[in-house]
Amino acid sequence: MNIKEIVDFQREYFYSGKTLDVNVRLNNLRKLKSLMYKYRLQLNEAFITDYNKSEFDVLGTEFYITIAEIDFMIKHVKKLSKPKKVSTSIVNFPSKGYLLQEPYGVALVVAPWNYPLQLTICPLVGAIAAGNTVVLKPSNYCPTVSKVLYEMLGEFDKGLISVILGGRKENTELFDQRFDFIFFTGGDVVGRLLMAKAAAHLTPVALELGGKSPAIVDEDADLDLAAKRLAWGKFLNAGQTCVAPDHFYVHEKVKDKFIEKLIAVVKEFYYHDGKLDSDFPFIINDKHVTRITGLIENDKVIFGGKIHGRQLEPTIMDHVKETDPVMQQEIFGPVLPILTFKSLDKLLEMQKRKEKPLAFYYFSRSKAKARRIMQLMPYGGGCVNDSIMHLTNDKLPFGGVGRSGMGHYHGKESFYTFSHQKSVLVKGKHELNVKYPPVNNKKLKMFKYLAKVKD
């Protein structure tokens, strides 16, 4: 079948009602979990082939998070699917109100290359739990992982889940189809194109994009803790993480000491006998190697900077300015610019005028100051005294705002993102006879009383 035929086939499958039974959805979730374990070793090998990602990294950043999402949905999908009673107003007395969760229909999930398992399967979990059928488009930048996903998910009925491989040609054809919901994770350039295409059919979308997510290390921060947690967050997956701290602002009073501790941590984490560990992940392809290395200014490099094929060392740059090339785009690689600040309030004023980032991280010993900063700064999600870990909590919705995206998921929010909430009011035979013409003073007074309008 071509792409249009696949979408039409899924629409007929959805119209058949096969996805509406919650027990069927549960069985599909359990099957998905079983398939994850069945193909785990093949997935590990595929990650090594595509960009040298070790089994430990695959387990920690891909497999574990995905299984946790499936387990959450298996546990909660029946409760999430039930009608929910709501109270009604005196105007509608006597009446009852309730909310129904309805699947959209045929959903398109477009996944990126940087976490090709997690960011493919986690949206899929929400989509099938909510009762949709799904067309999946994994990235062609990680072809080996995508082929394993194609084989693994091919064990489902194609009416429920269909995987489309390929590149720009297939994306173009997919974007021209009429879907009932679109979930996209990737860059803002493709996100804009997809949103424009979706507008032709008035298709709702969720966009998980990115941006330059800052980290602030204040003068009262625990520097050992900040160095450890920010180094891990920045260089995880060789910096190819949408919520990675893109750049650090460090207070001038502690900058030199922080850099000293940061370099020591990077050496401890990623080097052995003075050499970069062989399992440090590769940059995904040569195109991105050229782009990332083009952001490095050698005279500002204080650590790293060497490249071996597609393996770029963790690279730290100091004395960076806002106008430098490395500050003009999301880095998405193991290059870390460090900037200095003196006044936190002035820094926040500047940050509020920038595009809203996907993530924000603040390090300080002051709980009161941290609460104020997290309230003032605009961002999708963030951490105090940590990085990245907010997305591992299924009770914290994950998503962006402004240019960093729209919509959110994880945990119950994944279910709601792929559901339309229908409102239902059930009226009894009797009612307050106020709304019907003709109007008189008695009805007017009664309405003012009910509406709490004062003369």
Residue from 69, 242, 313, 330 carrying the catalytic annotation: 242
Same domain assignment for residues 176 and 253: no
Look at residue 167 and tell me if it is in a domain.
Answer: yes
Say if residue 193 is in the same domain as residue 48.
yes
Tokens 């229909």 identify what position?
Answer: 105
Contact 362, 344 (CB under 8 A): no
- Does 310 lie in the same domain as 251? yes
CA distances from 125 to 86, 174, 180, 205 (A): 27, 21, 17, 17
CATH of the domain at 52: 3.40.605.10
Assigned domain for 373 exists: yes
Burial of 352 (0-12, 13-18, 19+ CB in 10 A): exposed
Strand partners, 193: none
Same domain, 137 and 99: yes
SS3 218: coil
Determine the pLDDT at residue 447.
Answer: 86
Residue 123: name the closest of 405, 422, 403 by CA: 405
CATH of the domain at 336: 3.40.309.10
Residue 272 lies in a domain: yes
Last residue of a domain, one of 347, 365, 397: 397
Instruction: Report the length, in residues, of the chain.
Output: 455
185 — phi, psi (to 5°)? -120, 125
Is 226 inside any structural domain?
yes
Q: What is the CA radius of gyration of the chain?
A: 25
CA atoms within 13 A on the CB side of 86: 14
pLDDT at residue 92 in the model: 87
Residue 435 lies in a domain: no
Q: Identify whether residues 295 and 317 lie together within a single domain.
A: yes
242 flagged as catalytic: yes
Whether 176 and 114 map to the same domain: the answer is yes
Residues 181, 298, single domain; the answer is: no
Distances in whole angstroms, Cα of residue 259 to Cα of each of 102, 267, 324, 325, 339: 52, 12, 20, 21, 11
- Which residues are within 8 A (CB) of 32 and not within 5 positions of it... i.e. 6 or more apart? 70, 121, 124, 125, 128
Reference 380, options 406, 354, 362; nearest CA is 406
Q: Which residues contact 338 (CB under 8 A, 6 or more apart)?
A: 247, 248, 250, 255, 259, 316, 317, 318, 320
Q: Does residue 79 form part of some domain?
A: yes
Which structure tokens are listed for 343?
A: 């006044």
The Cα–Cα gap between 254 and 231 comes to 16
Enumerate residues 6+ apart whose C-beta is below 8 A from 6. 135, 158, 162, 164
Domain that holds residue 297: 214-397
Euclidean distance between the first and final Cα of the chain, in Å?
68
| Ramachandran bin of 452, using left for φ above 0, alpha for ψ from -120 to 50, beta for the remaining angles | left
CA angle 132, 396, 161 (to 5 degrees): 20
pLDDT attached to residue 91: 83
Q: What is the pTM of this model?
A: 0.95
Residue 166 in any domain: the answer is yes
Do 306 and 198 lie in one domain? The reply is: no
Looking at residue 257, its pLDDT comes to: 98
The active-site residue, picked from 62, 208, 313, 330, is 208
For each of the chain's 455 residues, which pLDDT tens digit applies?
Answer: 899 999 999 999 999 999 999 999 999 999 999 999 999 999 999 999 999 999 999 999 999 999 999 999 999 999 999 999 999 988 888 899 999 999 999 999 999 999 999 999 999 999 999 999 999 999 999 999 999 999 999 999 999 999 999 998 999 999 999 999 999 999 999 999 999 999 999 999 999 999 999 999 999 999 999 999 999 999 999 999 999 999 999 999 999 999 999 999 999 999 999 999 999 999 999 999 999 999 999 999 999 999 999 999 999 999 999 999 999 999 999 999 999 999 999 999 999 999 999 999 999 999 999 999 999 999 999 999 999 999 999 999 999 999 999 999 999 999 999 999 999 999 988 888 888 899 999 989 988 888 888 87
The tokens for 339 are: 């900037």
Examine the domain organization and report whether 175 and 293 are in the same domain. no
Q: 72-79: list long-range contacts, CB under 8 Å, 24+ apart.
A: 72/394, 72/411, 72/412, 73/29, 73/125, 73/126, 73/129, 73/414, 73/415, 74/26, 74/29, 74/30, 74/33, 76/412, 76/415, 77/22, 77/25, 77/26, 77/29, 77/129, 77/415, 78/22, 78/26
Residue 63: helix, strand or coil by DSSP?
helix
Q: How many folded domains does the chain comprise?
A: 2
Instruction: Show the DSSP H helices in 271-307 as ranges.
Output: 286-293
